[in-house]
Amino acid sequence: MPAIPLAITNQGDGPPVVILHGLFGRRRNWQGLQKRLATKARTITVDMRNHGDSGWDDVMTYDAMADDVAALIQNLQIAPALVIGHSMGGKAAMSLALSTPEAVKALMVIDIAPVPYDHDYAPYVDAMRHVPLTKLERRSQADDYLAEAINDRAVRAFLLQNLGQNDNGLYWQVNLDAIESGLPDILDFPIGAGDPYDGPTTFIAGGNSDYIEDAHHPVIEALFPSATFASIEGAGHWVHADKPTEVIAAMETFITDNQ
């Protein structure tokens, strides 16, 4: 299966660092952090397949996402790169390290573990589908419709970052069909028969999040035997949004330690 071309923003000089966002995210969510990191490294933020400005495809497996990123690293001639991934992007980064270890010099995984989850994202997809975009003139109007199904204002604001506008009106810049059909794969994690990734690996958990639990550590250490763990207190699952200063500091240490 051919890799999907990925849209990127490339800033700075130094060791190459590839940053992968989570489900319903996009590379511009990392813009502020990227600007800071670009003083120390060549930072490359990525729109994952079916998100942002990247290509669309029916498949949303981690094997496919890892192939996309492996092709990007090869095309940019930056292997081995430091790879940082949050949530879905963290699982894609782990899949990349396990399947193509020569592409990954070191790995940072933010608030996700290589395990299945039972979180339910289907209501988000359904709520986004039911926004009558052709009848709306402004993005703010879409929030009123999302509010009928999603009480959390922060979640709505996050989802609305995927709302684009052109001469034809408003449109979603995320492939809802592919995400909906791919949710079982997105919530799962493929553990193949390959060798563990023994390169430097850092797991960063949000102190208020339950995505990385103590019970996950044996699974993590079996796949990533060099793994170290840290927690950022006061942060939920969107660690980089809740505590950007602390996340930048952790990333800077990761870059310095693995140049």
CATH number at residue 246: 3.40.50.1820
Helix axes 122-129, 153-160, angle to 10 degrees: 60
| Residue numbers of the chain with a pLDDT score lower than 70 | 1, 193
User: Within this chain, do residues 246 and 163 fall inside the same structural domain, yes or no?
Assistant: no
Residue positions counted in the chain: 259
90's enclosing H/E stretch is helix 88-99
Instruction: Give the per-residue pLDDT at 11.
Output: 96
User: Within this chain, do residues 156 and 43 fall inside the same structural domain, yes or no?
Assistant: no
| 248 within a domain of the structure (yes/no) | yes
User: Within this chain, do residues 127 and 149 fall inside the same structural domain, yes or no?
Assistant: yes
| 1 within a domain of the structure (yes/no) | no
What is the CB neighbour count within 10 angstroms for residue 207?
A: 14
Instruction: Give the per-residue pLDDT at 71.
Output: 98
Q: Determine the Cα–Cα distance for residues 22 and 209; give it in Å rounded to an integer.
A: 15
| 87 within a domain of the structure (yes/no) | yes
Show Cβ contacts of residue 120 under 8 Å, excluding neighbours closer than 6 positions: none
Q: In the chain, how many domains are there? A: 2
- Residue 87: active-site member: yes
Task: Look up the domain containing 168 and give its range.
Answer: 122-180
Instruction: Give the per-residue pLDDT at 211.
Output: 96
The closest alpha carbon to 103, from 75, 77, 76, 70, belongs to 70
Catalytic option among 21, 51, 86, 237 = 237
Q: Determine the Cα–Cα distance for residues 20 and 106; give it in Å rounded to an integer.
A: 14
User: Within this chain, do residues 62 and 126 fall inside the same structural domain, yes or no?
Assistant: no
Show Cβ contacts of residue 154 under 8 Å, excluding neighbours closer than 6 positions: none
| 106 within a domain of the structure (yes/no) | yes
- Residue 177: active-site member: yes
User: Within this chain, do residues 13 and 108 fall inside the same structural domain, yes or no?
Assistant: yes
**Structure pTM?**
0.96
Catalytic option among 87, 95, 99, 209 = 87
User: Within this chain, do residues 28 and 90 fall inside the same structural domain, yes or no?
Assistant: yes
User: Within this chain, do residues 168 and 53 fall inside the same structural domain, yes or no?
Assistant: no
Instruction: Give the per-residue pLDDT at 193.
Output: 60
pLDDT in tens, 67-79: 999 999 999 999 9
| 214 within a domain of the structure (yes/no) | yes
User: Within this chain, do residues 193 and 111 fall inside the same structural domain, yes or no?
Assistant: yes
Show Cβ contacts of residue 197 under 8 Å, excluding neighbours closer than 6 positions: 94, 97, 98, 101, 104, 107, 223, 224
User: Within this chain, do residues 107 and 130 fall inside the same structural domain, yes or no?
Assistant: no
Catalytic option among 13, 58, 152, 177 = 177
User: Within this chain, do residues 48 and 175 fall inside the same structural domain, yes or no?
Assistant: no
Q: What three-state secondary structure class fits 110?
A: strand
Q: Determine the Cα–Cα distance for residues 195 and 98; give it in Å rounded to an integer.
A: 7
- Residue 130: active-site member: no
User: Within this chain, do residues 127 and 109 fall inside the same structural domain, yes or no?
Assistant: no
pLDDT in tens, 175-195: 999 999 999 999 999 987 678
User: Within this chain, do residues 111 and 199 fall inside the same structural domain, yes or no?
Assistant: yes
SS (H, E, C) 151-176: CCHHHHHHHHCCEEEECCEEEECECH
Segments of the chain assigned E as strands: 8-11, 16-20, 42-46, 81-86, 104-110, 163-166, 169-172, 201-206, 227-232
Q: Which CB contacts under 8 angstroms, 24+ apart, belong to 145-151?
A: 149/123, 150/123, 150/124
List the structure tokens of 93.
């980064």
| 2 within a domain of the structure (yes/no) | no
